[in-house]
Each structure stands twice: as structure tokens, then as C-alpha cells.
Structure 1
């Protein structure tokens, strides 16, 4: 059994994110804690329409034999201390990469999503709203300990995806075809994925990444921790942000 945090604001219920949870339930039992934030109403404006997102969540959990708990919070409860505490006691955080606080800013990742990715103490999945299960895996690798830990974390959480075609990509704009610790990477990845390619992509711009990833059907991108200061991580963050902004793939972000 896994404990999952399902997070959304009450005005935008993420059906695609819950579809992903339903797909996980086919593999194992789940306990899902639905955390619903009600956005603040600016002074002088009409109150937000009544929303039934928590009720919808409860009904879906009951229909799919998922253990659940509902937590409803006001917008002012959104804080670093809240998310650090909650995510330290969870296996996975799931949210919609399109709808999380879309009323505040539809251009994703908006400020709320970036805060969530910075603060989380557990791995996170930013899910596309199309609801399709992953069919291809793409792992971003930069030779650091964090990137291989991301791969390890994903393999531990999702062993059911080991039969999907997997590509591990190392991006660096240089003539050499060298990939750091390639033999060790091949040994590890071959133990976890049935179909595997390891590629070096000689790019200097994230625009190439956008064009490339669009060639894949229902991909899932595996990325390391978000928001650390190293240059290679900053480059990886730009991949993650581009992917989320353009709804190119579901994204797994390790911690």
C-alpha cells in the first residue's frame, strides 16, 4: 500500500490526476489523502460558486475501493511548513500540471506549483489532464548522484512500468559522445527496464527538447529534484518547466 497526497484547489477538480491514481490502484492498495484548498475571495468581489470537489473525490475513491481522507483548507494555510510536514509522511504527491491553482495563473508552472515542487519532501507526479496511462519513459540524466537517485526512486515506486520502452537522455552541447559513468548506468538501467536506450543529445537549447519529446506517445519524464542551484540542475529545471507549460508529458520529480 502507498500513501498518496492528492492536491487541488476546489474550483478546478483534476480528473486526469485522479485517473492516474485509478491506474495505480489496479496494481496495489492505496490510501489517498485529498487536500482541497479554497482560494481566497478578493474584497469587493462576488463569492466563488459552491464547489463539490471533495464530494466528487470521496465518491470516486469509494467506487474504486480506495482508502481515503479529506482535508479542506483555506488559501492562507498554503505554506512551506504545511507542505514539508505533510510530504514527509507520504510516498507520493499527485497533482494536475494544468489545473493546480489555474484560477490564479493559467501559465504553468505558476507560483503555487513552483512552491510545491520546492517544498515537497516526497516524490511528486505532475499529471497531464488527458488521462492516458504512460506508454514511454524518458529519464533525464546528468551524471550526478541526484539524477541516478531519481531513477532509483521511480523504479522503487513504479515497478509496474519496467516493461515500458525507456530512454535515458544525457544532454550536453559538445562534440564528444561520452556519457558519465555509462557502464554503471547501463548495468543499473538494464536491471530495471526490459527495453532500454541510452542517448546523448547534443543540444544547446530547450527548443530542441520540445520538438523531440512531441514525437513520443503519452510519455512520462523522470527528473531529479527541482530547484537546486547547480547549473546542470537549472538546465534540467528548464526541461521540466517547458514540459509542464506545454503539456508535453506527465512528469515525475524526485526528492
Structure 2
């Protein structure tokens, strides 16, 4: 991996920067910081061009240039100082905030996007998982890694596997982007909702994974994927979770469930998401 795009804006910015530095440190990848527009008017402008929606732009006191510039300088200072202290090779994408549309365009030319689970500190937008995050996950042309509320070193990787091409593609993406994690435990998690993956395929997946990790395990749990995924993952710590096929299959339903709100908003582990 050569370039990580660190998309910043939410209230957990300091921890997100710290986790971006952690990944950059273990991979030696260049870390590029970008600050996202968080106002609904700015966000809707990007969505308007994508979906044809109309919008009404409003100007708030905190949107005035002097307030915006002051906050931006503080955020840039935090990013640069954190990277300097940790000895990370980091640059700024821009000295100004950018739209979601610009981030999606840039995703084609980077290896990984790292971002927070909450894009805005605006309390009036609390509730469902951040719509901007959903759009980023669906539209990004590279994998996206959602940082936890309190980042910790990775000691286990859980690959959520349903037998689909998308799920195995996500496994490959993680393995090839982060080969430095080869010493951690690798767990393949299958949720059996009535159609279990054949034993031969389980062996093939385990064999392939064992070539990349020192210790692997194939775990099968029974029940509904949306329920059992949360039950299995919720207590995990020091764990990186890998999922594929965003917008389809398990993950699509997963984000529609109320439990997903809790999992995303109180994320206790990094979540790696990509689509085929």
C-alpha cells in the first residue's frame, strides 16, 4: 500500500488521526489528510449532482469566513502536529474543506480511505448511521476503513464470509493492502442461515488464508446474519472486521437494522469495507 486518504470531520477527529498514523506507521504508506464539508447545504450540493435532488442553501453564523478559517487552522494544526510527533510522512490534500463528490473522485487514485463513523458533530443529525458515510461506502472506488471510537492495535482480523465473490474479494483486498498484519489471528466468520458453505470450500478458504497468517480459524454460527453478526462482533476488542458487498447482500440489510446504528455509532473496532 502506498497512499492512505484520511477523511476527517467528525467529533472523534483526534482518534481518527491517531489510527491513520498507526496504519501509515506499520505500512509506510503516505498519509494524505482531507477535511470534509459537514454542512447540509454543502453536502446536498454534491448529492444534487449525483442524484438530481434540489436543495436550499442557508448561511449560518459559524459558516462565516473568519470562523471557518479559524476552525480549519486548528484542525490542520492537530493533523500536522500528531503526524510530526509520530514520525509519519503526511501531507494535506487541500487547505480548504472539500465536498463528498471530490473525495469520491479522489478515491480512484488512492489505495485506502480511512474515516470516522460519524462525519458531523451536528447533534441535530444524530440517529441513523451518517448518510454521508453510507454514500462514501457505496461510491468509493477503493476500500474504506471506518475507525473505532477508541483505536487500539490490531490483534485479530475477522473476515465475514458468506460464500460470495464479493466476500472473498474483500478478504483479498485486506490481505494485499495490509500484509504487515500477518502475525495476528485470522478468523473466518460464517453465519449459517439455512444454507451452509460446503466443507470443501471451507477448507479451501482456510488453506488460502493460512498462507498469509500464522494462525487461522473458521467459525460458524447459526441464525439470521443481521442478528448474529452483531452478537458475535459486539464484544470484540483489538479486532479488525472485514466485510464486502456494501449496498447488497448481508451488509445492505445490516445497515438497515437498528442494531447497525449502535454498532457503527459506538464502533469498538475498525471496520474494513469494500465492494467488488
Interval of TM-score (by shorter of Structure 1 and Structure 2)? 0.7 to 0.9
Query: 1:165 touches 1:195 (CA, 8 Å); kept in 2?
Result: yes
Partner of 1:4: 4
Extract structure 1 runs of 4+ deviating beyond 6 A: none
Partner of 1:114: 134
Partner of 1:17: 16
Distance (whole Å) between structure 2 residues aligned to residue 224 and residue 177 of structure 1: 17
Count of matched residue positions in the alignment of Structure 1 and Structure 2: 248
Q: Tell me by how many angstroms 1:20 deviates.
A: 1.6
Q: Tell me by how many angstroms 1:175 deviates.
A: 7.8
Partner of 2:252: 234
Provide Cα deviations, 1:131-178, integer angstroms capped at 9, x if missing partner: 212222111101111111111110111112121122101112228574
Distance (whole Å) between structure 2 residues aligned to residue 205 and residue 142 of structure 1: 9
Partner of 1:71: 94
Q: Tell me by how many angstroms 1:196 deviates.
A: 1.2
Query: 1:163 touches 1:193 (CA, 8 Å); kept in 2?
Result: yes
Partner of 1:159: 179
Q: Tell me by how many angstroms 1:220 deviates.
A: 1.2
Partner of 1:183: 203
The alignment's TM-score, normalised by the length of structure 1, stands at 0.84
Distance (whole Å) between structure 2 residues aligned to residue 39 and residue 214 of structure 1: 28
Partner of 1:61: 83
Distance (whole Å) between structure 1 residues aligned to residue 91 and residue 156 of structure 2: 30
1:90-101 equivalence runs, <5 A: 90-97=110-117, 99-101=118-120
Query: 1:30 touches 1:67 (CA, 8 Å); kept in 2?
Result: no
What's the RMSD between the two structures over aligned residues? 2.8
Greater fraction of residues in helix: 2
Distance (whole Å) between structure 1 residues aligned to residue 226 and residue 247 of structure 2: 17
Tell me: CA distance 1:232–1:125, structure 2 relative to 1, closer, same or farther (3 Å): closer
Q: Does 1:87 align with 2:107?
A: yes
Q: Tell me by how many angstroms 1:102 deviates.
A: 3.5
Unaligned runs of 5+ in 2: 42-56
Greater fraction of residues in strand: 1
